[in-house]
Amino acid sequence: MHWTDIVMLMLSATLANHLGLVEAVEGVIKHKIPILRCSKCASFWLVLLCTLCSGQPLIASVAVSFLCAYAALWLELLCGYIDTLYNKLYESIYPKTPDDTTDTQSQVS
């Protein structure tokens, strides 16, 4: 297994969680999948499973899996920060307008 495969697994697990895809799958199958709901857990177990299945040594697989789980923690934090930047930019481009355009000043109290 190449290191780019490992990075792609960690990215996929983290982004699937961040984008809400895991929750969507849980809604469709009507069953909770706790291991996939956590980016760190999903990254750890996916990388561990794939590295072991590709014939890597156990100790190296566990160590790389822990590194990926730690990296997933920081990637998730980065994604959250990017979300706040996106929201600020979106609000500056599309300012909120009132939904009700009726004239409220002419109403009698």
Q: Which helix (H) or strand (E) holds 23?
A: helix 21-29
34 assigned to some structural domain: yes
| Any domain includes 107 | no
98 in any annotated domain: no
Q: CA 27, CA 11: separation in Å to the nearest integer?
A: 22
Could you tell me if residue 46 is inside a domain?
Answer: yes
Residue 54, domain extent? 3-93
Q: Is residue 105 included in any domain, yes or no?
A: no
pLDDT digits (tens, 9 = 90+) for 31-82: 999 999 999 999 999 999 999 999 999 999 999 999 999 999 999 999 999 9
Number of domains forming the structure of the chain: 1
Place of tokens 């009132």: 98
Residue 37 in contact with residue 12, Cβ under 8 Å? no
- Over the stretch 90-105, which tens digit does the pLDDT of each residue have? 999 998 876 655 555 5
What is the reported pLDDT for 96? 82
Q: What is the pLDDT of residues 1-32, one digit of tens each?
A: 889 999 999 999 999 999 999 999 999 999 99
Let me know if residue 99 belongs to a domain. Answer: no
Calpha distance 56→78 (Å, rounded): 30
Q: Which two tokens stand for residue 8?
A: 């792609």
**Helix, strand, coil proportions of the chain in percent (round to 5)?**
75, 0, 25
For every residue of 60-97, DSSP letters joined together read: HHHHHHHHHHHHHHHHHHHHHHHHHHHHHHHHHHS---
